Amino acid sequence: MELDKPPRDITVSEGDREKYSWLSTKFNLEVKQIFLLAVKVGFFYGLRDKVKNHRSIAQFSTFSDDDIKDMITIAYAELESDSAIFDGKKVVGICEEYATGGISKLYKQFAGANKEDVKIIEDMVDELANEVK
């Protein structure tokens, strides 16, 4: 599945790069997998924030067709016309905003979790990460 003129890079807020790195290391996942997880968490909880001081974390070309389908599905819920669902800039922009909200929730949940919560949370992330793969 292809988007029309997607941006070369997936970007996040400058202040969130450390959160992606920390979560990537903690769960032994690629940063792009953490991005997709953050998009889904942000969408699920309705957490959508503007990206500030854009910084690249991955190139769009590294995402699989299934990843792109997930992005289009999430963007479809926000777009007002069916023709816009293949607009790469709009789709990626919406996903970046959901990822901004989602990464904050993920980081707060995992960085501040006590030891009893960590096992439950790790199981949840493993399950979600398997869906992202």
| Contact call for residues 94 and 43 (beta carbons, < 8 A) | no
Which pLDDT value is given to residue 11? 95
Which pLDDT value is given to residue 27? 86
Of 92-101, 104-113, 123-132, the range with the lowest mean pLDDT is: 123-132
Q: How far is CA 23 from each of CA 29, 33, 69, 90, rounded to the nearest angstrom?
A: 8, 10, 24, 26
Average pLDDT of the chain is 87
The pTM of this model reads 0.83
Contacts of 50 (CB under 8 A, 6+ apart): 97, 100
Percentage of residues of the chain with pLDDT beyond 90: 66
Q: What is the spatial distance between Cα 39 and Cα 100, in angstroms, rounded to a whole number?
A: 8
| Exposure on the CB side of residue 1, measured as CA atoms within 13 A | 16
Question: Does position 66 have pLDDT exceeding 60, yes or no?
Answer: yes
- Minimal CA–CA distance to 128: which of 24, 13, 36? 36
Of 71-80, 88-97, 106-115, 120-129, the range with the lowest mean pLDDT is: 120-129
22-56 pLDDT per residue, tens? 999 988 899 999 999 999 999 999 999 999 999 99
Q: What is the spatial distance between Cα 34 and Cα 42, in angstroms, rounded to a whole number?
A: 12
